[in-house]
Structure 1
């Protein structure tokens, strides 16, 4: 018969109480800090909503952007995107406005991407072909070359009237997006606008659903709150920036970081321009349904956020007040996530020790279980309400959203896997990445060139 003496010291009442107290206090403190930050942003978003959702005023004067039609140039970087490039470009061109143009940046594709683009019969479509050795140097380098071409094309046009957008090759915008953008840029202080993001294949798998929930809840709430704090960030998909705001960042506005979009948003916030977020229109992009590919994708994103430490000096010098405080939080949050990822491990160790002790007959108190559940899963009910308001039109009920948000808590633990893997890559100096392959079925026009409806 097993005696209490054979149980590890962790399970003895005295030492267990001490360790539980220390671990619980640390976990409680980190959770409270995270919830306070979420509450701060939610409160800021609500405050802005009560002020009719008007973006904060910025210093400096600019010409009234509403006096003349805006020229919108959508840059679409792509690499081996024959499966999606044709339909994606045609969806953008569904808006008949002559002030809208699409420039596809083929970054050294080895498939039919360029041929499909050349065959699209619309004068508003252009192709910028990058070939080795200049190709595949990163998304930022491709965008920098494209914006040089935009500057040349619109040399005689007021750069405040030219809007440069970035849309991924698999992305498609809500039909209302163009009107939302024109209304946003009618405010002469707005230098950049980020639209919302939805996962188009959210019904394909639970993993894709988690990504959609992530963008709708966390990203949306954070971005709405940051409108009030003047610290809105830019995403890699559906970012739109005035050419004059890009000019304020120099001839090459995008960096070579793995998250050039994150860097761009921070640096734009350091100018006299204001970043805005308009979640009432969204870009729909393909989510990853393979856990292995998700780990690769998010590790790259996390590593790019780690690289943003190089902007700490810029933030301290150029941002002020709440914008500076929140941006510092954004830049330092990957390191806090790394530290926080150790808490679930310690919790599981203590839980296992308690279960082993209980099985051995050592009395255990489970009074901590309800508070632990509330700390871990309590916010899920709030997330579920936010998400349900977005997806109820799709037939999703509130109970199902609550269940999804409980699963989302475990999905969030994957950030520890992404984070430590990204840190290891950063420490050994590895920053090269292969493109994340599309999961879409190859488009018919890529397989049957003669049958392409919009090609000559």
Structure 2
């Protein structure tokens, strides 16, 4: 046995693990059935909308949400904005009793999205205490988390009230699908190449959320471990109270506060579910810099949530399959970091050994033509299949365009390796601050920069 054999064996295990996981998520997604809707009037609805420098979008979001869902109370948290967001929110709240301004000021403000949501949670509890019997019971009260640019589909409340969602008493949280609003945005003021690049990034994010991430959630429906997202998250007030038992507030300080609160809710004994038959829309990021900042924050947040694994494996409320799924999801950054070393090493070793054995690169290539189809099958197809699913089931585009997107999506997914390195570097440097990604509003013909 050569010194490289253990490395080859380990790389094979990683490859099989990845291919099995891809199969496990794509099959339930393709087989899923439409969910039934329920009676939204049976619940009391409150939407938390955290805002930090959101003047470019918050007015339209509040106006649209109030018009579409007149029975929903909006709790708008201004997290010490410097662009006039608070003024906009206060003006709307003064004229509409269903809009509540939650104003945070430094130094308490700007402590992360979880802290902002906890402030709204505390304000809601105070408001309910003042209202007394005018409020529904806690398990009939639902809190929605909505981004400042978020737009819920008209059937969102009916889907959340369905028999497989809050119509079932053991369900504590519902996550809806996420779509991008700006896939056809002309992006004025940019050069041709820059516009093409921006459109590419936007489309890839739409494919990612509507297929890969949705498929992961479809698998989690079967393992009973659905993860919550930061936009389009629905939770019972009673479930949030149960998740608050240890720390008096439901949301923690992890940079992936949405997934963390979902874990807390499941550990408290509730079930989380996913519905693909309604959605929330948000802006995709047409800037690689801002995309990497966002994904680095997500990856670092996942690393912070690893501390929940001992509780997950000892919990009687998690299924065995759910514990394994959560373990794999939280281990992905570590697997990717290992892969950054393993895959190039294996490729170089195979190439070097082949050249030594055959005498030249050309001779090795002639005798090893099978390597290319194997690489295509195991390295590209698992990524390229998602745009095909997207084109045939989500957006109805041609197969030719889907194939082109497939190559683009394969390349796009390599951004995760950049983000995992940045996330580990931030962890090692002790940097745990919440880096907010700016909206796509333009200032002076240029997209706003990332605030880091």
Classify the TM-score, shorter chain.
0.7 to 0.9
Residues 394-445 of structure 1, C-alpha deviations (whole Å, 9 max, x = no match): xx32221122122211221221111111111111211124321112247xxx
Distance in 1 (CA, whole Å) between partners of 2:361 and 2:237 is 71
Distance in 2 (CA, whole Å) between partners of 1:353 and 1:407 is 29
Summarize the alignment of residues 267-282 of structure 1 with structure 2, pairs less than 5 Å apart: 267-282=264-279
Structure 1 counterpart of 2:290, from 279, 293, 302: 293
Distance in 1 (CA, whole Å) between partners of 2:102 and 2:119 is 9
Residues 37-73 of structure 1, C-alpha deviations (whole Å, 9 max, x = no match): 2322344556764xx7589xxxxxxxxx969621111
Distance in 2 (CA, whole Å) between partners of 1:434 and 1:222 is 26
Is 2:234 the partner of 1:240?
yes
Structure 2 residue aligned with 1:346: 345
Structure 1 residue aligned with 2:124: 150
Larger radius of gyration: 1
Give secondary structure in 2 for the equivalent of 1:94. helix
Aligned length: 413
Cα contact 1:83–1:440 (8 A) shared by 2: yes
Give secondary structure in 2 for the equivalent of 1:248. helix
Give secondary structure in 1 for the equivalent of 2:363. coil
Query: What are structure 1's unaligned runs of at least 5 residues?
Result: 1-14, 56-64, 443-456
Cα contact 1:217–1:383 (8 A) shared by 2: yes
Residues 148-191 of structure 1, C-alpha deviations (whole Å, 9 max, x = no match): 11112223331111101111111111222122122232222211
Structure 2 residue aligned with 1:216: 210
TM-score (norm 2): 0.83
Distance in 2 (CA, whole Å) between partners of 1:356 and 1:46 is 43
Deviation at 1:248, TM superposition (A): 0.4
Structure 2 residue aligned with 1:180: 159
Structure 1 residue aligned with 2:63: 90
Structure 1 residue aligned with 2:322: 323
Cα contact 1:140–1:256 (8 A) shared by 2: yes
Cα contact 1:45–1:228 (8 A) shared by 2: no
Judged with a 3 Å threshold, the aligned counterparts in structure 2 of structure 1 residues 361 and 106 are, in CA distance, closer, same or farther, namely closer
Cα contact 2:22–2:382 (8 A) shared by 1: no
Distance in 2 (CA, whole Å) between partners of 1:440 and 1:359 is 59
Give secondary structure in 1 for the equivalent of 2:249. coil
Structure 1 residue aligned with 2:447: none
Give secondary structure in 2 for the equivalent of 1:119. helix
Distance in 2 (CA, whole Å) between partners of 1:23 and 1:407 is 30
Structure 2 residue aligned with 1:112: 84
Distance in 1 (CA, whole Å) between partners of 2:180 and 2:145 is 17
Query: What are structure 2's unaligned runs of at least 5 residues?
Result: 185-197, 444-452
Distance in 1 (CA, whole Å) between partners of 2:439 and 2:411 is 25
Structure 1 residue aligned with 2:448: none
Deviation at 1:107, TM superposition (A): 0.3
